[in-house]
Structures are given as structure tokens and as C-alpha cells.
Amino acid sequence: MSAQNKKLESDKIAIVTGGSRGIGRNTVLSLAKRGVHANFTYHTRNVDAETVVAAVKDAGAKAISLQLDAGNIASFDAFVESVKAALSMLGAARFDFLVNNAGNSHRNMPFEKTTEEELDSIYNVHFKGVFFLTQKLLPFINDGGRIVNISTARTRISWPGGSAYASMKGALEVLSKHMANELGPRRIAVNVVAPGAVATDFSGGIVRDNPEVNKRVAEATALGRAGVPDDIGPMIASLLSEENRWVNAQRIEVAGGVVI
């Protein structure tokens, strides 16, 4: 990244949901290295969030952690008030980037065994929550800002046990195109980043901690391994940067060439 573009990004503010762990954490830290401050959310593990705040400070930026249940739509009005207070602490009334990353573990959910409760849980976090949280935050996004919605390679690949999760992410990808169109007059770009299998604690850490699953992912990937958070966070930060200002309404798979 050029010094000029880093200066353009310096002191911008991002909101990253699910920013205390995994891909979200790496995204917050990757943005901090570019001088971008962050308000990021955590669900229950405040200790994890505080370690991210400290790491962002070490990188020379500022971060504020906010508690959020991304599937509890009724809590969003109160969350917006928290965002307004956090922005004020950063000396701002608006922010520049929104990364809808928060997710809930789905593990293996075969179609014929998925319950209504399980489907609703995934729907609330991965689609309905993104829809209404973005809607609530729109008045506070600067014109010319950018939104990244996190999807999955599984919208392209049929993998056993993923019907509910992949379907909600597929809906999110369609939503993102419509958002890009409707927010165009405000020059707000909306894109989708679709990671492949990443070695984090998501879904019980199945890719990270299960050697057999990790091996199967590696064998199915052209670059020969499962992904890690550091493969994804810098890419998201780059997509939000001035270098990619003309990228809009795109689904970008970041998966090392899985099942090609």
C-alpha cells in the first residue's frame, strides 16, 4: 500500500461485527495496520475483546468493543445508541466501513435432520440480522463508505451438512447486490467476501482441531492447505481501501482455489 493511500485511510472508522475472534479479529487488526480505527462487537467473551483492543492500540490505532447478539433484532436500537456513544469517543459522528462478519456455529446439519429452531437461529444471525443491523446503521455511514458482507465458499460448493447455512449466505449474496444498487446514489460500495474453510474456533474448531477434516480441506484446495485468518483479514482490509474503490456488487471468493 502506498504512503498516499495509507494517509487517505488514516483516521477512518470501521464497524466490524464478530470482531473479537477469528476472521473478524484479523480484520480489525489488519485495518489497524492501515490506520483505521474500529468499533467491533463480541457476543459473550469480553476477555477476548479486550485483547483485541490492546492489540489495536499496539498497532497505533484505536478500538472500542461493544457487546452484541447479532441474532437479536430487538436489541439493535440499543446497540445503535452504543455505536453513537463509541463514535463520539473517537471524535466522530459517522463511520466509513461496515463489515458484517458475526456468525453462529452450525456444525454439521444434514438437511433431513435440521430443526426449525436451528434454521431460525442461522436465519436470524446470517440474514435477518445483517439486513436490519445495516438498515439501522445506514444513517451513520459516510457517503462514499463501503460495506463488506461475509459469505462462504459453500454457496458455490455443495458440501454435506451445509444446506441451512449455505442457503442463508446465498440469500445474503443476493441482498448485497440489491444493496449496492440502492446505495449507489450515496456512493456506498457493497461487496461480498466468501472464505473457504478457515482454521478458527468456528463450528467447534472443526477445521482447526480435527486433523482428518483439515486434511480433506487441504486435499480439495489447489494451494494445498486450509485457510487461516491471516489469509482473509488483510484481503477484507484491502477491499475497503482506496485501491479498490471501483469494486462494487462483487462476490469475491478467498479460498485458495477450493474444489475448482
Active site residues: 165
Measuring CA to CA, how many Å separate 112 from each of 28, 47, 156, 161, 164?
38, 38, 21, 9, 11
Q: How far apart are CA 11 and CA 173, in angstroms?
A: 29
Measuring CA to CA, how many Å separate 33 from each of 27, 61, 95, 96, 167?
10, 8, 18, 16, 34
DSSP helix/strand/coil, 67: strand
- C-alpha cell read off for 162: 451445509
| 190: phi then psi, degrees, rounded to nearest 5 | -130, 120
Cell 486433523, residue located: 211
Exposure of 145 in the CB half-sphere (CA atoms within 13 A): 22
- C-alpha cell read off for 251: 462476490
* 155, 173 contact by CB (below 8 A): yes
Q: How far apart are CA 213 and CA 123, in angstroms?
A: 26
Helix (H) or strand (E) holding 145: strand 141-150
DSSP helix/strand/coil, 17: coil
